[in-house]
């Protein structure tokens, strides 16, 4: 498993928590920051999946 998948998942979870905390406290900056981190984590995770796919194709 590509390390980007693991790191992306961590960022996605952390960002989701930040976003939720921002919503609860009414802190729009924290909410936005969490949303950005969550989406960046999703992109990183997809990049890791693509790397895994490329490795599988290369091994064939």
Residue 12 has what pLDDT? 97
Under a CB-based contact definition with an 8 Å cutoff, are residues 38 and 15 in contact? yes
Residue 28 has what pLDDT? 98
* pTM for this model (two decimals): 0.86
Residue 36 has what pLDDT? 98
Under a CB-based contact definition with an 8 Å cutoff, are residues 14 and 37 in contact? yes
Residues 10, 45: Cα–Cα separation, whole Å: 9
Residues 39, 33: Cα–Cα separation, whole Å: 10
To 5 degrees, how large is the angle CA 55–CA 42–CA 40? Answer: 115
Instruction: Please list the rounded mean pLDDT of every run of 10 residues in the chain (60 residues).
Output: 93 98 98 98 96 92
Under a CB-based contact definition with an 8 Å cutoff, are residues 47 and 12 in contact? no
């Amino acid at each position: 498993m590509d390390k980007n998948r693991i790191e992306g998942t961590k960022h996605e979870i952390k960002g989701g928590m930040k976003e939720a905390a921002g919503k609860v406290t009414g802190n729009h900056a924290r909410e936005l920051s969490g949303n950005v981190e969550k989406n960046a984590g999703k992109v990183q995770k997809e990049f890791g999946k693509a790397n895994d796919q490329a490795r599988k194709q290369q091994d064939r």
